[in-house]
Structure 1
Amino acid sequence: MLTQLTISNFAIVKQLELDWRNGMTTITGETGAGKSIAIDALGLCLGDRAVTNVVRPNTKKADLSATFDIKKNKPANTWLSQHDLEGDDECILRRVISSEGRSKAYINGSPVPLTQLKELGRLLINIHGQHDHQLIVKASEQRRLLDNYAKHQNLIDDVSYYAKKWAELTNELERLQTSQAQREAEQQLLQYQVKELDEFSICEGEFETLENDYKKFSNSQSILEDTLTTLELACDNEQFNILDSLRQCVDRLIQYSDIDGDLANVSTIYQDALIQLEDASNDLRHFHERLELDPQQFQVIEERYSNAINLARKHQVSPESLHIKHQELLQALANISGDDSRQEQIFVELDKTKIDYLEAAKRLSDSRSKAAGEISQLITSSIQELNMPHGQFKAHVSTKEGEQLSSHGLDDITFLVSINPGQALEAMHKVASGGELSRISLAMQVILADKVTSPALIFDEVDVGISGPTASMVGDKLKQLAKTTQVICVTHLPQVACKGHQQYFVAKLTDGEHTETTVTELSEQARVKEIARLLAGDKISEHSLANASELLAS
């Protein structure tokens, strides 16, 4: 349930903190005072779209927060746990809106996307607006209301799943059929490309080896000459070589190793250098002796290396990736060659999917028909209690199978009403006035609220177009609903306002330069005066006060 609503710099509200309790709370006030302002603020906390003019003039931002008691709300607790946003036994939704229109949302102090506010908000409270009755004449809204009453979301999900699958298969089949000529041309190109790469048949990692061999062979003459020259300088020249010179250096220094420690270290370094040079010379000699110049082998390597580069350039890939490109083209050719068999498979899948869809749609239709019978009786009884003694209501479900598989099933839902004796049932928008639509809408909302349990319900002037004895009946309906859930009702009717367990009064104050809305909880005595004002207008008489007391006492 909603326990607190805090509003700062919102519209014409400077600062407001409202505490809410169980049962039924009514909100009244003068015309234009902003009775719905708290509901609008709450709607933003629940994720409604924000505009710049919601921020109070000459302030930087509006700050709104709503606190809910969720001890007994398992769905909300589960949602919070799944999103790592748990609190204690309460949940705080907060919305901050800048004067430039930027908006930030928070759940239990953590920043969240606006979509998460909406998701969680639906588990905490339901708001019924004063124009909801205009929606119920729409076919989509009538289907939604019936489905909500039936509580068969699993059946709707099944139908939607098969409809989506059927649409995907249909689109795939259409793509395959319309691109037949294009696929044939593509297939020919792929066959040529694959044949060319098949003939070249490069292996994974082969180009790297080719490149190394090519570099080695192309520089082999220079390598041969330079290694020979190096060997001459290092050890083979009889006139002078580095190895002989280094041996002489070692021989001269080693005799002093026992005399001077510094020379001993230098002598050791020269000896190490001599050993390394001898090893290097031996390795270089072995390399030089093994180096072969085979022109035919080099020609083979050069030709394959060059072909690999040209093929890679042709296919717009690096030579190292040519093997991968070959495999991709093979797969593409296999895929395009399998399209014909895929078409045959799609026809089989389409037939099966349609059978599955029709079975799921039949289960949904049966559930809707059963729910339609129940809701028709309940709403008929309810609108008769709301001063429409001859009113009849019927939720009509007609099932028809078309070529297209709708995600909503095969049913057309139509709400039919009859207001007067002997009048045939007709579509709601044809026979019901605005006030009658309001009463039918309220009856639905009460029935659905009772069926689809919600921790809190807000009715924002849903009693528009209603007066007299009917208003009293509407108040009784709302108070009856408040036995099982929290009800907050914005109203202009004294017969409804008096049914509340507590009542708030909204007033607009101005000093000529600034305007501010205030909301005050009324004492019992103040409630009498406010009910009297609603009954008689600004001129409150003893008679209207007595009537107000009588209404409250009843």
Structure 2
Amino acid sequence: MLVHIDIKNFTVVKHVELNMQQGLTAITGETGAGKSIALDALGLCLGARAESNIVRQGAQRAEVVTHFDINKLNNVKQWLHDEMLAQEDNPDECFIRRVVSNEGRSKAFINGIAVNLSQLKVLGAKLVHIHGQNDHHQFLKHDNQLSLLDGYAQHTELLNTTKTLFRDFTHKSKALKALQEAQQQRLDRVSLLQYQVDELDEFAMQAGEFELLESEFKKLSSIQDLITLAEKSQYYLKDDDNSNALSLLASAIGEIEDKLDADADLNGPYELLQSAMIQIQEAYSELSHYQSSLETDPAKLAENEKRYATALDLARKHSTQPEKLFQVHEALTNELEQLKQQEASLHELENDCEQALVAYRDASFKLSDSRTNAAEKLSAEIESSIKQMNLPHAIVQTHIRFDAAANPSAKGNDHISILVSVNPGQAPDVMEKVVSGGELARIGLAIQVIRSKDYSIPTMVFDEVDTGISGQTASIVGKLLNKLGGQSQVVCVTHLPQVAAQAHNQLFVTKLSDGISTETKVLKLTKEERVNEIARLLAGDSLTDTAIANAKDLLSL
């Protein structure tokens, strides 16, 4: 619950400190005194948008500090722990501070640690629920009516299941749509790749084959020249009867051999010539063997020439080097397989989407069934509550229509309508058609009280929700808020004496001015001061004995 709030330089407030109590606290004051300022400051501390004009004129900054007792709020403690914002030495307390400069810059702190606005809003929603003057209009919207019903039904697990299955279906649908949109392009590519791969499969070039093919092509196309070369070389080395390398070399060796005794220096050249003789004989033998291995084969040459030409043609077609044709073949084959797998994935994903949709429909139907069961009870409870607010002929009906053909949504496929009738003989219809502003305010208040039973939020704030209510109805509303204050901490800004008299505590807002500046003060009223304030609300500024007596009667003094 809210324990303390400290407000400095906020609009017309210079400095106000309020110690808040359990139960119902009424805030009253003169018209224009700024009864809602404390609530606005609280809202700022809980994450409301900050504007530079909230800073009191002449001040550098506005500052609001709130102190909460979170001893029984395990969800708040867990959140603070998860966000590393808990006070280790005092985990049962939480302090929030918001500072706004006169230039509009804002800073927020939780337990002295700087936080962003989104964190502040999350924590604020767990600590305080603020119901503004016109918030009852929210119940005219179908989405809010659906949220009301879901909160009342307390089927969080069904909601989470439906939301999870919706997200799963949406994710798979997007993936399927992407594959379907690319399907024609993919099919065209598959057709081209299949033709190219089939062509390359038929040619079946192996890694490194082109280099061998090119080498063989050069050899086969030059076979006759190679045979002639081998024959001519053998002729020069040995076969020429008149003069050949071996006979000339033999003559030189013989003449040098005769002179070896004359000069020992001839031994070196002699040995080299002997070695040359051996080398030439071996070369002759190799050439002879080489020549015998050569034979013209026009058929083999034609086959080689054809394959060589085909390789060059395929390389040009695929804009690559012939040596890389094997790698191109592999790459195209892999791409074709991947595209075929995508086509298979498309069919699998279609089945997955169908199954995901079936699972979602089943969950949304169960959710709808739970809503239908809760709707009758909610209608009866709202009807009972507003009948107590001087609407004795009220009829409330909550209709749920499940639309199986509608597009999936995270909240299911229900259309909800809360129908109301407040006059005898009037058929129930949507609220905006059949209720006045005051009647809508009473219905909104009844709904808020009903919702409070399901809230884990310890503090509820109502800002003049009793607008348009008076007399006996105001007394009933006061008792209703008093009862609610017995369950949780309730703060209510009101101008009705019947409501203020039901409060456990009362704060009075007054505005002071010295002709130069204006300042708003908030005072906690004593029992005697409460009598005078209730009398003022009853009779205006003139406190008559009758008004004071009536005030005491309302306060049961």
Write out per-residue CA displacement over residues 352-403 of structure 1, whole angstroms, 9 at most, x where no aligned residue. Answer: 1111111111221121112111111111111011110111112221111124
The question of 1:76 aligning with 2:76 is answered yes
- The residue number in structure 2 matching 1:378 is 381
What CA distance in whole angstroms lies between the structure 2 residues aligned with 1:474 and 1:9? 34
TM-score by length of 1: 0.74
Residue segments in structure 1 that go unaligned for 5+ positions in a row: 203-313, 316-322
Match of 1:261 in 2: none
Deviations, residues 159-211 of structure 1 (Å, cap 9, x unaligned): 12222222222222222222234335666899989x9xx99989xxxxxxxxx
User: How far apart, CA to CA, are the structure 1 residues paired with 2:190 and 2:50?
Assistant: 54
The aligned residue for residue 315 of structure 2 is: none
Matched, 1:537 2:548: no
Residue 407 of structure 2 aligns to a residue in which SS? coil
SS of corresponding position for 1:148 = helix
CA contact under 8 A between 1:62 and 1:98: conserved in structure 2? yes
Report the CA distance shift for 1:458/1:201 in structure 2 as closer, same or farther (over 3 A): farther
1:166 counterpart residue number: 169
Q: What is the one-letter code of the residue matched to 1:37?
A: I
Q: Which residue of 2 aligns with 1:50?
A: 50
- Shift, 1:338, TM fit: 2.1
In structure 2, give the amino acid aligned to 1:66: T
SS at match of 1:123: helix
Tell me, in whole angstroms, the C-alpha distance in 2 between the residues paired with 1:328 and 1:143. 56
* 1:386-401 map, 5 Å: 386-401=389-404
Aligned to 1:481: 484
Shift of 1:82: 1.4
Distance in 1 (alpha carbons) for counterparts of 2:411 and 2:20: 39
**Which SS does the other structure have where 2:555 is aligned?**
helix
Deviation at 1:484, TM superposition (A): 1.2
Higher Cα radius of gyration? 2
Relative distance call for 1:520 and 1:335 in structure 2 (3 A) is farther
Match of 1:233 in 2: none
Q: Secondary structure at the match of 1:423?
A: coil
Does residue 404 of structure 2 align to residue 432 of structure 1? no
Partners of 2:457 and 2:343 in 1: CA distance:
54
Is the Cα contact below 8 Å between 1:13 and 1:516 reproduced in 2?
yes
Provide the C-alpha distance between the structure 1 equivalents of 2:129 and 2:332, rounded to a whole number of angstroms.
Answer: 57
SS at match of 1:122: helix
Q: Structure 1 residues 334, 462: closer, same or farther in 2, change over 3 A?
A: farther
Partner of 1:503: 506
Superposed CA RMSD: 2.7
Q: Residues 333 and 508 (structure 1 numbering): CA distance in 2 closer, same or farther, change over 3 Å?
A: farther
**Contact residue 3 and residue 19 of structure 2 kept, 8 A:** yes
Distance in 2, Cα, partners of 1:108 & 1:190? 65
Query: Residues 183 and 477 from structure 1, CA distance in 2 versus in 1: closer, same or farther, beyond 3 angstroms?
Result: same
Could you say if the C-alpha distance between residues 173 and 460 of structure 1 is closer, same or farther in structure 2, counting changes exceeding 3 Å? same
3-state SS, counterpart of residue 509 of structure 1 = strand
2:345 paired with 1:342: yes
TM-score (ref. length: structure 2): 0.73
Aligned residues of 2:441 and 2:466 also touching (Cα < 8 A): yes
Deviation at 1:407, TM superposition (A): 1.4
Identity of aligned residues (%): 46
Q: How does 1:73-472 map to 2 (within 5 A)?
A: 73-87=73-87, 88=90, 89-184=92-187, 335-472=338-475
* Equivalent-residue separation in structure 1 for 2:363 and 2:342 (angstroms): 30
Q: Which amino acid aligns with 2:176?
A: L
Q: CA deviation at 1:132?
A: 1.0
- Cα 1:471–1:334 change in 2 (3 A) is farther
Aligned-pair CA distance for 1:153? 2.0
Distance 1:10 1:128 in 2: 21
Deviation, structure 1 residue 140: 0.7
1:39 partner SS:
helix
Q: CA deviation at 1:339?
A: 2.0
Counterpart residue identity of residue 96, structure 2? L
Q: Would you say the 8 A contact 2:406–2:413 is kept in 1? A: no
Kept in 1, the 8 Å contact 2:407–2:413? The answer is no
Provide structure 2 residue ranges, at least 5 long, that are not aligned to the other structure: 209-318, 321-326
1:76-117 Cα shifts (integer Å, max 9, x gaps): 111111112112221111111112222111111111111111
CA distance in structure 1 between the aligned counterparts of 2:102 and 2:193, rounded to whole angstroms? 60
The SS at the match of 2:127 is coil
What is the aligned partner in structure 2 of residue 517 from structure 1?
520
CA 4–184 in structure 1, closer or farther in 2 if over 3 Å, else same = same
Distance 1:330 1:69, change over 3 A: farther
Q: 1:524 to 1:328 in 2, by over 3 A?
A: farther
Provide the C-alpha distance between the structure 2 equivalents of 1:59 and 1:160, rounded to a whole number of angstroms: 48
Output one character per residue of 1:425-473: Cα deviation in whole Å (capped at 9) or x when no partner.
1111110110001101101111110232421111111111111110000
Distance 1:102-1:187 versus aligned 2 partners, 3 A rule: farther
Q: Which residue of 2 aligns with 1:41?
A: 41
Q: Is the 8 A contact 1:149 1:452 kept in 2?
A: no
Give secondary structure in 2 for the equivalent of 1:353.
Answer: helix
Distance 1:80 1:29 in 2: 37
